[in-house]
Amino acid sequence: MNLRRLILVLTLCSALLPFANTFYAGYTVQRQQLIDTTQESNAAYARKLAQSTDDFLQSALQQLGYTAQLLAAHMGDEPMLTQEATRLRLQTKSFNSVTIYNPQAIVLATSPEALQIKGRMLDSAAVQESLRTRSTVISQAFMSAAGNLIVFISHPIFSPSGEYLGAIGGSIYLKQESMLNRLLGTHFYADGSYLYVVDKSKRIIYHPNPERVGQVITGNTVIDRVISGDSGYAAVVNSQGTAMLAGFAQVPSSGWGIVAQRPQQATLAPLDTLMRTMLYKTLPLTCVLLLVIWWGSRRIAQPLRQLANGAHTMDRADTAQTIQSVQSWYYEAQELKKAMLVGLGLLHQNMSQLRQDVSTDHLTGLGNRRHIDAALARFASQDIPFAVVAIDIDHFKHVNDTFGHGVGDMVLKQLAAQMRDVCRADDVPCRVGGEEFLLLLPKASLTDAAQVAERLRHLAEITELPVVGHITISVGVSHWPHCSPSQTTVFKQADDMLYAAKHAGRNQVQVYPS
């Protein structure tokens, strides 16, 4: 491969790869933004519809409550009971049927009378719950005595003296036209988006496909979350295997879950069109750029090619003049670049060694105070909690006075090695002066730090050293921010615990209470 082709390949890679990366990154960001926007919109829509449904249920309860007050003094007047049941059913059309029953669950009146359940005893769980609790009830979906899949809403009837007289209930037929069906059914989209509602038993009580009403959904994480009271959004796959972006919310008064979802494909369709348009718009400029790259590679390689041609004609008289006329700027620039790279490499190597020397204790190889400052600055910038372990060798002055400073240095090096043994990769062991050491434990709890300190204390105690024999250490432990929000205070706390260990007899670990 000659120089012109090499330059052409490298330049094309430098131009096309960033373009492809930018195109891909733009697609990824826009795609995620569309998904997030759709999910948030669906979640907001589900919350709004949940509130509207809750308002409808509260309105239905208010209607039942008002009628219950009217009937309290007329429970023996069957014509009036029937008249009120019919009025309530037809006035707002909130209910498909209305039933009035006594404390024995015997139907006193019903509307429409075509149900033919007057005088019969109702044994549904919803009716029994209303009689047992003597309070308002919004039931789960169930099959009524007349064979309808319904939701039953009831309100108790009390006499003016407080005697329980029975209840009045309204039924909403889930597989027939109803106010609830109209409330939910007006929100159907043509792009495959739809919503459905489940009760607390995960049974579908509304779905744009009537055949799905009454089915119990299992294995759906969105349903599990919304029934448990959660609200938000998630990506799911529906029963037809279509990827959907779902938002969900719970109806407070009934515990129903409302799920609004849109096909992911429909959400991303505008993005595909946008990216194709963007590609078509950028192609002309890309072609011009490729031509410029081709021309530039020829210009860059031309001086060297002329010199190579001159090398092949060394025996001709005009070769010297030909080589003299070559604009050989490329060669000098390349040589200067090499020299600069070598110089920079040596400079960086020396600076790295200098930084190492400045931040390291020359005797033990541990970090010094500058190393501590750098670590603390990093912890603070990243909000990383850390534990401080302050360490001091017991009676170290006696070691120096008795065996000499050479042996003392050996003891310091041995303790430094033991500190490295108990440290993790991210821990910061340091020597802060004399026989005083410090250990910073990022992301460690106070309990973890106390355990590390105890391991180090035990290791120092059981290790037999040449000449000296055994040494002991005293250790103080504190934690930021659990013990104090101030780093300076935490270091003082660890130091105080160190001196507390000294005063308590040495060879022990004292932990600052959090």
Integer Cα distance of 163 and 157 in angstroms: 8
CATH number, domain at 506? Answer: 3.30.70.270
Q: Considering the domain boundaries, does residue 205 fall inside one?
A: no
Could you say which of 172, 192, 216 is where a domain stops? 172
Q: Considering the domain boundaries, does residue 507 fall inside one?
A: yes
Q: Considering the domain boundaries, does residue 485 fall inside one?
A: yes
Q: Considering the domain boundaries, does residue 279 fall inside one?
A: no
Q: What is the pLDDT of residue 280?
A: 79
- Report pLDDT digits (tens) over 384-434: 999 999 999 999 999 999 999 999 999 999 999 999 999 999 999 999 888
Could you say which of 120, 147, 172 is where a domain stops? 172
Q: Considering the domain boundaries, does residue 31 fall inside one?
A: no
Count structural domains, the chain. Answer: 2
| Phi-psi region at 509: left, alpha or beta (left = phi > 0; alpha = psi -120 to 50) | beta
Per-residue confidence in pLDDT tens, the chain, 514 aa? 666 677 777 777 777 777 778 878 888 888 888 888 888 988 998 899 889 888 988 998 999 999 999 999 889 899 999 999 999 988 878 888 899 999 999 999 999 877 788 889 988 888 999 999 999 999 888 877 666 788 899 999 999 889 999 999 998 888 777 777 777 766 556 677 888 889 888 888 888 888 888 888 888 888 999 989 898 989 888 877 889 899 999 998 888 898 988 898 888 888 888 887 877 787 787 778 778 777 777 666 666 565 556 555 655 655 556 655 555 655 543 443 334 334 434 544 666 666 666 778 888 889 888 899 999 999 999 999 999 999 999 999 999 999 999 999 999 999 999 999 999 999 999 998 889 999 999 999 999 999 999 999 999 999 999 989 999 999 999 999 999 999 999 999 999 999 999 999 999 999 998 7
Q: Considering the domain boundaries, does residue 399 fall inside one?
A: yes
Q: What is the pLDDT of residue 190?
A: 64
Integer Cα distance of 503 and 40 in angstroms: 61
Q: Cα–Cα distances in Å, from 133 out to 67, 82, 200, 368, 412? A: 19, 25, 19, 73, 77
Q: Considering the domain boundaries, does residue 364 fall inside one?
A: no
Q: What is the pLDDT of residue 365?
A: 87
Structural contact between residues 419 and 437, judged by C-beta atoms closer than 8 angstroms:
yes
CATH number, domain at 120? Answer: 3.30.450.20
Could you say which of 145, 172, 199 is where a domain stops? 172
Structural contact between residues 472 and 438, judged by C-beta atoms closer than 8 angstroms:
no
| Phi-psi region at 83: left, alpha or beta (left = phi > 0; alpha = psi -120 to 50) | alpha
Domain containing 390: what range?
A: 369-511
Residue 89: which of 171, 173, 180, 195 has the closest Cα?
A: 171
Residue 242: which of 261, 258, 260, 222 has the closest Cα?
A: 261
Residue 95: which of 151, 48, 52 has the closest Cα?
A: 151
The contacts of residue 66 (CB under 8 Å, 6+ apart) are: none
Residue 89: which of 65, 68, 60, 117 has the closest Cα?
A: 60
Q: Considering the domain boundaries, does residue 254 fall inside one?
A: no
Structural tokens at position 210: 């009537």
